[in-house]
Structure formats: structure tokens, C-alpha cells
Amino acid sequence: MRSSHLNQSSVLIVSDDTEFSRSVVARWQTERHVPEITLIASGVCHAGSAAGYQIVILGPVRTGSPATILAFLRISSSSVVIYVAEDQTDVALFRAEHPYVLVVPRHDGWAGTLILISSEALRRTEAAGRAQRAEKLALESQGQATLGKYMLEMRPSVNNALTSVLGNADLLLLEPGYMSAESRDQIETIHTMALRLNEIMQRFSSLAAEMRAGEKDSQAETEVVSLRVDAG
């Protein structure tokens, strides 16, 4: 069973109490943002069940103890785990033995408390995910910038090598009598490929010039804005 969802957040509810699961889903559907919710019974829960879910909520179960199931789910998952405890007298002990689990006692208003804690956990998880993606993009951009800088530095050497290849190929092609037809075809291929490489390098040079011009324009605009702010 899955609820309709407005974003990519995902929640797994493990419980053998259908009324518990129904209450959680119904309460969440009154919120502005509803995650994708999957319901499973404890009997079909296994070590990989929590994979891909941001939140795992454990309610009343008949198969195995809550502690055993939570440890089982924790094996291969980095999900935030929330346990809705029936017996409030064991809450403190449970928190001490399982510090990675968020425990919500099942008293009056428990559903609201559960949704509040879960929503905050989802926001933090999504924020951490955005930060990781931004860091990855920054590293990729840094790598590309390093590669681009290296290509700019090597451009004169590459152009010199291409000029030499083209010049020697031209000289050989001017004396067709000294080579076989097969050798001439091979030299013509070398000449053609060298011309293509030269064209690529010319395009790269044009792109580099455009980028430098863009940086100058951007810097000039920044200086104009700065002057206006200072004058204001």
C-alpha cells in the first residue's frame, strides 16, 4: 500500500497493527507535504527492507521483539529509525540501549508527535542530501577547471606538434614518386586527422577567448554595481 506523494521523500512503516498504520497514514495526509509511504508486516521484514527509505517507523509487531527488528533493519540502512513504544515504562531503557533510534511513546497525541519528528528528520535528510550533491558538483567543477587550465597551458605545445605533423605530411605528399600508393594513403590520413585536431584546437582557443571576455564583462558589471552602492 502506498500513499500519494508530493515529493521524493519515502517512509517505511513496519507494523502488524493495521489500525496503527492506518492512523499514521491518515494523520500524514492532513499535512501539506506527504511522503511516499510503504507498509509492510514484521513477518516479511528483512535486512534489505529499509534500503532506499529515508525514514523507518516501527509500530506494534507480533513477530519478534522490537529491538530485534530494529537491529535487523539497521544492518544495511542509513535511514532515520523511529520506534513508537507501547510500554512507556521501558522508553528510557530502550533509548539507552538503542541510542540511534528515536523513541515516541504511544500516549495521547502520539500521531502528531510522530509526524512532527518524522517531518523534521526528512527535512534534515533532504538538506544533507542537497549538501552532498552540491559538494559533488563543486568537486566535478574543480576537476573540469583543472583540466581546462591544463589544456590552455598545453595548447602552444599541441599547436607546435600539429604544425610539424602537417608540414612533414605536406612535404611527403609533394613527392609521390618516392612512396607506394598504400603509404601515400596513410600519409593523407595522417594529414586529414592532423587538420581535424587543428580545427578542434582553434575552437578551443575561441571558447577560451569567449570565457575570458565573459569574465571581464562580469568583473566590470560587479565593479559598476559596487561603485553605485558606494555612491548611494
pLDDT in tens, 181-203: 888 888 889 888 888 888 888 77
Give residue 2's pLDDT. 42
CA dist., res. 145 & res. 151, Å (int): 10
CB-side neighbour CA atoms (13 Å) of 38: 17
Mean pLDDT, all residues of the chain: 78
Which of 90, 111, 100 is CA-nearest to residue 26? 111
| 31-84 tens-digit pLDDT | 888 888 999 988 888 777 777 888 889 888 887 777 778 777 765 557 788 888
Indicate whether 4 pLDDT > 60. Answer: no
- Residue-wise pLDDT tens digits, 87-115: 766 677 777 777 788 888 888 889 889 99
Q: Is the pLDDT of residue 119 over 60?
A: yes
* CATH T-level fold of 10-107: Rossmann fold (3.40.50)
pLDDT at 213 over 80: no
- 218 pLDDT higher than 70: no
pLDDT score recorded for residue 62: 83
Query: Side chain identity at 157, as an amino acid letter?
Result: S
Does pLDDT of 7 surpass 50? no
pLDDT of residue 227: 55
Q: How far apart are CA 145 and CA 109, in angstroms?
A: 54
**Domain chopping of the chain, boundaries:** 10-107, 134-219
Our measurement of the distance from residue 197's CA atom to the centroid of its chain's CA atoms, rounded to an integer in Å, reads 35
To the nearest 10°, report the CA torsion of 25, 126, 76, 85. -40
Q: What percent of the chain has pLDDT over 90?
A: 7
